[in-house]
A = this chain, B = another copy of it.
Amino acid sequence: MKKTVKIGLFGFGCVGQGLYDILQNNTENTGFEAQILKICVKNKEKKREIDASYFTFDKDEILNNSEINLVVELISDAEEAYQIVKKALLSGKNVVTANKKMLALHLEELVRIQKETGTSLLYEAAVCGSIPIIRTLAEYYDNEFLYSVSGIFNGSSNYILSKISNENLSYDVALKQAQKLGFAEADPTLDVAGFDATYKLCLLATQAYGIFINPDEVLRIGINNLKKEDIDFAKNYSVKKENDQNTTNFKVKLVASISRIKSSENNQVLLYVLPVFVDAENPLYNVENENNAVLVEAAFSDKQTFIGKGAGGHPTGSAVLSDISALRFDYQYEYRKTDRNKEKNALGQTLISPTQNVEAEVYLRFENHLSKKELLQNIDFTEILTENENHIIGKIILSELFEKRDFIEKHHIFVALCGEVKAVN
């Protein structure tokens, strides 16, 4: 049953205006009625590009308006967004949101409310902008045994890495460029320290494996301690492959990943957001600048790569629009993998759960103020492969990295995966 979508919009910033723009200018858009009735924003002083009668500063003017059947939530405040989305669902309105932070913190509860109220909560735009990865996981891979879902989920940090690598810029200059171009947040920590990618990874964990992950429990190390010398080191880093040839010329990418750890029951997954040395055979190698990419490895459909714009008003707005469009038919994500986990749980079967009991080869560079001795007293390697005065390459259990994350951050240590990741027996 088609119906006219009457929208109450929260937020009129980058994405909100992008959506407005698309609804105004989309010549393809006949036969699909979507109308913005009201827009709630915060700042009463700000000049707006469109008629003042659209705007309100009182969220209840949208939430209590019974004519509005869809709330589109595009504000920058995660806590307030949570209140808005929850109330909207509880009052029987469908919700489309792009707020990955809010979702990562509250998805389990919101999915429960969605079920109880028979509403629909869609969030394609929250993960990798215009790449339709949520819908694809929810619908297309809903029967598939997935080995891994990984990729480049943050455009700003990828832009910075590209600029340092390809144009020899320093980290600081590259970051300033990203900010100037509007890719990075005013406070870029969300991007470069890997928070943004972690939130997205948590949402994909739910769609790909039916599990809800607390972002704080994900091993997360960003590129905020990276220097140009790390990128140069990766370029010259050389690894012997099976065929005895050398792979060299690695790039550093900030990779988010959830993958099954090989074990008898295949019921453990490793999640991380980490800088990784990738070689030319990796599909992420050529993903440059502000682009995002998602790789899916599945038992039957094999490897797939999706590359596209991960941010920006128009790409993100177009993802919002595709959710709005799907709601004409009351489309919902099914969460079949989540339901199956509940069934398994009731039957006392082992569930998929996160592990960090995994050994990985890492490159770790430290600053002069820290002696190598001090470093090794604080961080336990299972094996040291090579070392010099300012870096170590060695094997480490990833739970050890997780536990020492405060030490790593405090001492501005740069860490990257540079080789195999293997389950510990």
Residues of A within 8 A of B (CB): 18, 22, 26-32, 129-132, 135-136, 139-145, 283, 286, 298-309, 312, 314-315, 317-319, 321-322, 325-326, 336-337, 339-340, 343
Contacts and interface: CB of A to CB of B under 8 A. Distances in A.
Contacts of A340: 28, 30-31
Contacts of A22: 300
Given A306-B304, A307-B305, A135 B130 contact: no
Q: What are the 4 closest A-B residue pairs judged by CB atoms, nearest first?
A: A130-B301, A304-B308, A300-B318, A301-B318
A325 to B, nearest CB: 6
A276 B342 CA distance: 51
Contact of A145 (B28, B303, B306): B28
Overall SS of chain A's interface: mixed
| Copies of this chain, tallied across the complex | 2
A343 B308 CA distance: 32
Given A22-B300, A135-B139, 12 more contacts: A26-B143, A26-B144, A26-B300, A28-B142, A28-B337, A28-B340, A32-B143, A129-B301, A139-B322, A143-B321, A300-B318, A302-B315
A140 B301 CA distance: 20
A180 to B, nearest CB: 20
A308 B144 CA distance: 15
A45 to B, nearest CB: 30
A136 B132 contact: yes
Nearest to A210: B28
A306 to B, nearest CB: 6
Given A31-B340, A135-B139, A302 B309 contact: yes
Contact of A135 (B31, B140, B337): B140
A18 B301 CA distance: 11
Given A302-B315, A304-B307, A309-B302, A322 B143 contact: yes
Contacts of A325: 139, 142-143
A337 B139 CA distance: 22
A29 B129 CA distance: 29
Contacts of A303: 308-309
Given A29-B143, A31-B339, A139-B322, A309 B301 contact: yes
Nearest to A132: B140
Contacts of A28: 142-145, 337, 340
A389 B81 CA distance: 69
Contacts of A304: 130-131, 306-309
